[in-house]
Amino acid sequence: MAAIGKYKERVQIYSRTLTKDALGQQVASYSLLYTLWARYIPGGGGESFEAKEKTARSYAEFQVRYQGITLNEAQRLVWTQNGVEFDFNITSIDQNGFREYYSIKCLAKDN
């Protein structure tokens, strides 16, 4: 069983909804689903050029206790550290142990 003391970070999980604006274009909006205690595991990062622009990437893993909640890759994870908000795209979710914890792998992309 994962020790509760390891979960020291607050994360928020948002669901994505597509709506249409006045011009008929699809626009994504997000609504808060869950606020959870998590363990942050840095995953490194790097920079590359995409479409002639420099793009920075940061990978991370967040572990949250199993609580019978529904998580999927269409959702977004937001983590605040020292007053700075980091938005992550969820790339994969694994359930570890028998109803012990979820391992949420994420990617933050900034250009």
Reduce the secondary structure of 9-29 to three states and give it as a string: EEEEEEEEEEEECCCCCEEEE
* CA 77 and chain centroid, separation: 3
Q: What integer pLDDT is reported at residue 96 of this predicted model?
A: 84
Residues 15-72: pLDDT tens digits? Answer: 999 989 999 999 988 999 999 999 999 987 776 666 667 777 889 999 999 888 999 9
CA distance linking residue 104 with residue 71, whole number of Å: 9
Whether the per-residue pLDDT at 73 is higher than 90: the answer is: yes
